[in-house]
């Protein structure tokens, strides 16, 4: 993977002044001074955020933080990942112990209206589903009357569980476990009949935690909408803007055909949209307290949205998730960027 070091990025005194200038925001100033981005992630969800045996993190949420580090520091490797439970994630963000929360978090009206946080644009469209042992012979969620359900506290899953069973006049017993690894262990050990979570989380769990993945089935119904998005504190709007536009850069790059491999040669394109995005035309960095090459660094660091998706969730991964709603709007999906103008 192509890396840009912070020392090279700040080699120019003019660039250093821009990075810490009036538009940068307090959070970006602290990140530059610290020399690393601190990113809150899950305790382990394949395809989204999961460490390997060497402690190296991978996943779509992880790559978003690397993209943000490339924007802020010039190096996608300058990230420290902090695994957080669902119950503690917002408290840790609000306390300032992390710079961004990129942890399969659903944007809801209650969270948006009551917490001192701001949600970045959706990075993954998901939906909650039920996973059950195939041996139960259950083929639809309407057959779950009387089931014991494993669920995490502090998530929208808890409320959605109650809502779904109440709406369908079904009874259930919940087994509430905060730690995701402990919850999954309980489910695969047979302590509960059902595991409720986002479909992506269930797919990841079945592929990586189940001794025999084919022994478990994810029921076809999606009982909720789950627009997953990174989250930042609401006390630094400039940082929020940079976080939002980093997400947009990934999506816009895919639509324009700019990849991690061709980003440098695409600077020679005569397409005005490509020229603006890659900083050939001046101005893309000014509004964010960065230089005009920052979007190109993001793409060089992690690739475009399609590359990030395919690397972590796509058909060639254990999760084998089709793009679906996460396809570009030009391909029938919901993914698009606000205009880069």
DSSP tag of 325 = G
Query: Distance between CA atoms of 280 and 272, rounded to whole angstroms?
Result: 9
Same domain membership, residue 28 and residue 73: yes
Specify whether 110 is located in the same domain as 207: no
260 and 289 in a single domain? The answer is yes
H runs (alpha helix) in the chain: 6-9, 13-19, 26-34, 60-73, 89-94, 109-114, 156-167, 180-188, 199-208, 237-256, 272-277, 294-302, 305-312
**Token output for 148:** 């014991």
- The answer to whether residue 32 sits within a structural domain is yes
Tell me if 340 is assigned to some domain. no
Please give the residue range of the domain that contains residue 141. 128-224
Indicate whether 85 and 101 sit together in one domain: yes
Structural domain ending residue among the three candidates 168, 192, 224: 224
In a domain, 285, yes or no: yes
Question: pTM of the predicted model, to two decimals?
Answer: 0.83
For residue 103, tell me if it sits in a domain: yes
Q: What is the CATH number of the domain that holds 169?
A: 3.40.190.10
Q: What is the pLDDT along the chain (341 residues), one digit of tens a residue?
A: 433 433 333 333 333 333 444 355 899 999 999 999 999 999 988 999 999 999 999 999 999 999 999 999 999 999 999 999 988 999 999 999 999 999 999 999 999 999 999 999 999 999 999 999 999 999 999 999 999 999 888 778 888 899 999 999 999 999 999 888 899 999 999 999 999 988 988 998 999 899 999 999 999 898 989 999 999 999 999 999 999 999 999 999 999 999 999 999 999 999 999 999 999 998 899 888 899 999 999 999 999 999 999 999 998 998 888 899 999 999 999 999 999 98
Same domain, 94 and 174: no
Gap between the Cα atoms of 325 and 227, Å rounded: 10
In a domain, 341, yes or no: no
Tell me, yes or no, whether 84 lies in a domain. yes
Q: Specify whether 256 is located in the same domain as 219.
A: no
Whether residue 214 lies inside any domain: the answer is yes
Assess whether 85 and 138 both reside in one domain. no
């Amino acid at each position: 993977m192509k890396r840009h070091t912070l020392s090279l990025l700040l080699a120019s005194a003019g660039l250093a002044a821009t990075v810490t200038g009036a538009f940068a925001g307090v959070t970006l100033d602290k990140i530059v001074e610290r020399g690393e981005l601190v990113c809150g992630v899950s305790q382990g969800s394949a395809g989204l955020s999961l460490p390997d045996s060497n402690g190296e993190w991978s996943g779509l949420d992880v790559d978003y933080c690397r993209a943000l580090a490339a924007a802020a520091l010039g190096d996608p490797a300058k990230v420290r990942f902090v695994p957080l439970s669902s119950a503690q994630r917002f408290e840790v963000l609000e306390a300032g112990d992390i710079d961004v929360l990129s942890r399969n978090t659903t944007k809801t009206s209650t969270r948006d209206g009551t917490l001192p946080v701001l949600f970045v644009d959706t990075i993954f469209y998901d939906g909650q589903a039920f996973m059950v042992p195939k041996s139960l012979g259950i083929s639809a969620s309407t057959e779950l009357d009387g089931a014991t359900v494993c669920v995490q506290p502090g998530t929208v899953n808890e409320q959605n569980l109650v809502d779904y069973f109440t709406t369908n006049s079904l009874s259930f017993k919940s087994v509430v476990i905060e730690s995701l690894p402990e919850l999954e262990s309980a489910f695969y050990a047979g302590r509960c009949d059902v595991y409720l979570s986002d479909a992506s989380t269930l797919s990841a769990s079945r592929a990586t935690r189940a001794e025999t993945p084919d022994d478990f089935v994810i029921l076809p119904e999606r009982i909720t909408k789950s627009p997953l998005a990174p989250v930042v504190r609401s006390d630094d709007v400039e940082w929020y803007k940079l976080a939002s536009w980093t997400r947009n850069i990934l999506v816009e790059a895919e639509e324009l055909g700019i990849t991690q491999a061709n980003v440098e040669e695409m600077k020679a394109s005569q397409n005005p949209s490509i020229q603006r995005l890659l900083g050939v035309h001046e101005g893309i960095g000014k509004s964010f307290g960065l230089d005009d090459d920052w979007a190109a660094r993001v793409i060089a660091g992690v690739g475009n949205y399609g590359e990030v998706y395919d690397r972590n969730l796509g058909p060639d991964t254990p999760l084998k998730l089709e793009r679906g709603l996460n396809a570009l709007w030009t391909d029938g999906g919901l993914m698009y960027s606000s205009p880069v103008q």
